[in-house]
Amino acid sequence: MWRDFAWHRLHHRPHLATANVRADFDAFPWAWDPGELAAGTAGGRDGRRSNRAAAPGDFHADLGAWRSGATGIPLVDAGMRELWATGYMHNRVRMVVGSLLTKNLGIHWRHGEEWFWDTLVDADPASNAFNWQWVAGCGDDAAPYFRIFNPETQAKRFDPERTYISAWVPEFGGPDYPAPVVDLRESRAMALAAYEGIRR
């Protein structure tokens, strides 16, 4: 049903992959660089790490860490590494990594949509864009703006033995595992404030 709905919406909104369904989100302060994906994958590079020199606060470093599975947030890193290695990721983890990118890191959903399009073996032109807009809160039947998936809570609920995380992030808990790129609580509060601004 959701796939059919997504194709129905793509038929009526041919720019689903590039334009917010809800126009009020055109003013949302997501970080966005329209040339980033091409720059990141030029010359046969895998695109997970940006070839730009990141200045303090530059979102390119966070985007590269997200793509690489090096955010310091275990469930997110496991999902992104699984995606790179296999071209697949469970839907639950897709929602978690999408929420982190768009809400906690404040990066435009189009960067996630483009990355999934390039890496998923089941990438679908309707479902991919439709689902990214859903998780970002700017699409049809979107998740409530205040719904921000907490990766730590999700891991406790769906991977309580850390079987999934251990399979993809073997260095988790050791000295080589990076510190989180973002504070989940602080970034959640910032996202809620930004979404509340859109509602007004």
Q: What is the mean pLDDT of residues 167-171?
A: 98
The verdict on residue 153 lying in a domain is: yes
190 in a structural domain: yes
For the record, the structure tokens of 115 come out as 């990355």
CA 91 to chain centre: 12
Over range 167-190, report the average pLDDT: 95
**Number of compact structural domains in the chain:** 1
113 found inside a domain = yes
On whether residue 95 sits in a domain, the answer given is yes
- pLDDT for the residue numbered 46: 58
42-51, 58-67, 104-113, 171-180: the lowest-pLDDT one: 42-51
* Domain-located, residue 49: yes
Asked whether the beta carbons of 10 and 128 are under 8 A apart, the reply is: no
Q: Tell me what pLDDT residue 148 has.
A: 92
With respect to residue 50, please indicate whether it lies within any of the assigned structural domains: yes
* Mean pLDDT of all residues belonging to the chain: 89
Domain assignment of residue 73, yes or no: yes
Max Cα-Cα span within the chain: 51
Question: Which of the four pLDDT bands, split at 50, 70 and 90, describes residue 143?
Answer: low
Identify the CATH number of the domain in which residue 161 sits.
Answer: 1.10.579.10
Domain limits at 149? 2-11+22-199
User: What does the pLDDT average to over 167-177?
Assistant: 96
pLDDT digits (tens, 9 = 90+) for 66-123: 999 999 999 999 999 999 999 999 999 999 999 999 999 999 999 999 999 999 999 9
Q: How confident is the model at residue 197 (pLDDT cuts 50, 70, 90)?
A: confident
The contacts of residue 131 (CB under 8 Å, 6+ apart) are 6, 94, 98
| pLDDT score at 101 | 98
- What is the spatial distance between Cα 199 and Cα 142, in angstroms, rounded to a whole number? 14
- 184 within some domain: yes
pLDDT > 90 in the chain, percent: 77
pLDDT higher for 141 or 99?
Answer: 99
More confident site: 47 or 12 = 12
